[in-house]
Chain A
Amino acid sequence: MSTQVTEKPLATRLLRVIKMNLSNPWPTLITPWLILAVLLTTAFFFELWLTSIGATGVFFEPEQFLIIYLLVIANQVFLNQFPLALSYGVTRRDFYLGTVLSLTFVAFASTVGITLVSILRGANDLTDLLNAAGANFSALLASELLAVTLTALYFRFRNIGMVTFFVTTGTLMAGSPFVVTYLDLWDELERFAFSSSWEFARTVIGWSVIALMLLIGYGLIRRANPQLR
């Protein structure tokens, strides 16, 4: 018999999934920065022109582009690699954790890139840079995990899951202003949004949502069928 394979430690198994996901760095790490280079160069000349006519302002923020790009690429990685990984004998748990770690690395690398761009554009206050880096990292990670959770939902419940999610989300988004109005909470919300505790609350809520998406994604993928028919 071919040599029977002994079980490898979790860290080894996860590292293999990470390498599998990032073995071709073009879609996750290189292509977005090539696109960004073009966008930033355009923005640079546009901002030069703005300055020449006496106006000031930042025309383009790279994180705005990356949040959308990484949402799409996280979906592509999960959607396409999941069936192949399971065919190669990877468990759902190992694939999920390995993919989340791969995407965390991509979000981190992208945050480093955004911070470097900010420095090149003249930002030099370390506290501001670190605060911005923290906010960018959590926003990029949240974007990727949203894609992961939605893709896991698709694998678990297919079209019914997607329709249910979007109908529920749409209803909540459309219904929440009515609830706030009905409960007469607009003034309180405004006070909270401009209070000093908002920054802290935003961070707590952001990371809670990230943790929640991680758990929901795992719960969904545990019994999902990887076949794309």
Chain B
Amino acid sequence: MSKIIEVSNLSKNFGSLKALDKVSFAIEQDGIYGLVGRNGAGKTTLLEILTSQTIASEGEVTILGQHPFENSYVMSNIAFIKEAQRYPDNILPKVKDVLGAAALIFENWDQGFADQLLADFRLDLKRKVRKLSKGQTAALGVVIGLASRAPVTIFDEPYSGMDPVARQLFYDRLLADYAENPRTIIFSTHLVDEAADLLEHIIVLESGRVILDAATEDLRGQAAVIEGPMAKVMGAIEKLEVLELQEVGSFGRAFVNQISQSQSSKFVSEGLNVQPISLQQLIISKTKQNSNLEMESAK
């Protein structure tokens, strides 16, 4: 596979605040990427730079081998659906007007698919955009993003306000359509476990830096939680990478990374409880570990 997006030493400053700090990564053509991070980690800023909404302070972005800023070739290959996307309800008052505008601009627009998605999400073409609920507005963004079939489709928290049923519908439709029309899809999310089956690759941002950039498959089963008497837990984790350690009285719980099957079996035989942890927990632990390291280096 070839790289469709390359980001190198990207920084963005807002006054004294470093929203992005020397971010580098590459995205392969045709894949579903998850951009994960806490609020204020820099996800939206990164996506805005990728889509030329914002200009970077330093560093470089190339998409399809070219700089995207004011590049009509690159931009015509991108669809960007933002969290709480606003629609110009005085100029394009109805759902059908917003979709009509999208159909005019997106080269690969699939009206049949858009109609099917509208029915799935129970969106009425004649309904006024300003009358849509938050979840329905998010669903409209999802319809536009998916039906655009843009070679690079970017969703920033696409399902803000959507109920669990609608979110599952989004995952199902995205996956089914992706299987038939592979493309590069990036979406930022907080709901890692929910979207885990969908994501082929995860990039985690924390305080404007990439702290994890790995294939989802490689991350699965990589980390575990070891529970038991504190003394035994401390002994077990001596030679492991500890992401997070919790102590409740004499009971200990350690989140560890890169644990092998033989190590796991050994700890179980010693009376400890060893369980694989979810992607979400791994990311939480990684983020906490990063925050602790930052605090220590600041001291």
Q: How many residue pairs between the two chains, A and B, have CB atoms under 8 Å in the bound complex?
A: 123
- Interface size of B in residues (CB-CB distance below 8 Å): 47
B30 — which chain A residues lie within 8 A by C-beta?
Answer: 1
Q: Who on chain A is nearest to B101 by CB?
A: A20
Chain B proximity of A85: nearest CB distance (Å): 7
List CB contacts (< 8 Å) of A123-147 with chain B. Answer: none
CA–CA, A3 and B29, complex, Å: 12
B101 and A23 within 8 A (CB): yes
A80 — which chain B residues lie within 8 A by C-beta?
Answer: 86, 88-91
A16 and B86 within 8 A (CB): no
B183 — which chain A residues lie within 8 A by C-beta?
Answer: 1-2
Chain B proximity of A164: nearest CB distance (Å): 19
Chain B proximity of A145: nearest CB distance (Å): 18
- Evaluate whether A19 and B91 lie within 8 angstroms (CB atoms) in the complex, with A87-B80, A88-B79, A91-B75 already known: no
List CB contacts (< 8 Å) of B59-93 with chain A. Answer: 64, 70-73, 75-82, 85-93
Pick the contact of B91 from A21, A90, A227 — CB < 8 Å? A21
CA–CA, A57 and B72, complex, Å: 54
Pick the contact of A81 from B70, B78, B80, B91 — CB < 8 Å? B91
Q: Which residue, of A20, A27, A77, A222, has the highest number of chain B Cβ atoms within 10 A? A: A20
List CB contacts (< 8 Å) of A209-228 with chain B. Answer: 222-223, 225-228
Pick the contact of A23 from B64, B104, B150 — CB < 8 Å? B104
Q: Who on chain A is nearest to B102 by CB?
A: A88
B73 and A6 within 8 A (CB): yes
Encoded as 1 (CB less than 8 Å from any B CB) or 0, chain A from 1 to 14 comes to: 11111111000010
B200 adjacent to chain A (CB < 8 Å): no
Pick the contact of B72 from A3, A7, A87, A225 — CB < 8 Å? A7
A89 and B91 within 8 A (CB): no
Encoded as 1 (CB less than 8 Å from any A CB) or 0, chain B from 125 to 149 comes to: 0000000000000000000000011
Encoded as 1 (CB less than 8 Å from any A CB) or 0, chain B from 80 to 117 comes to: 11100111111111000100111011111000000000
21 contacts between A and B (CB under 8 A): A1-B184, A4-B64, A5-B77, A5-B150, A5-B151, A8-B76, A24-B92, A80-B88, A81-B88, A84-B87, A84-B101, A86-B80, A87-B79, A87-B81, A87-B85, A89-B78, A90-B105, A93-B72, A225-B48, A225-B55, A227-B48
Residues of A at the B interface (CB closer than 8 Å) are 1-8, 13, 16, 19-21, 23-24, 27, 76-77, 80-81, 83-94, 222-223, 225-228
Given A27-B90, A84-B87, A89-B75, output 8 extra A-B contacts at Cβ < 8 Å: A1-B29, A2-B182, A3-B108, A20-B105, A24-B92, A81-B91, A88-B101, A91-B52
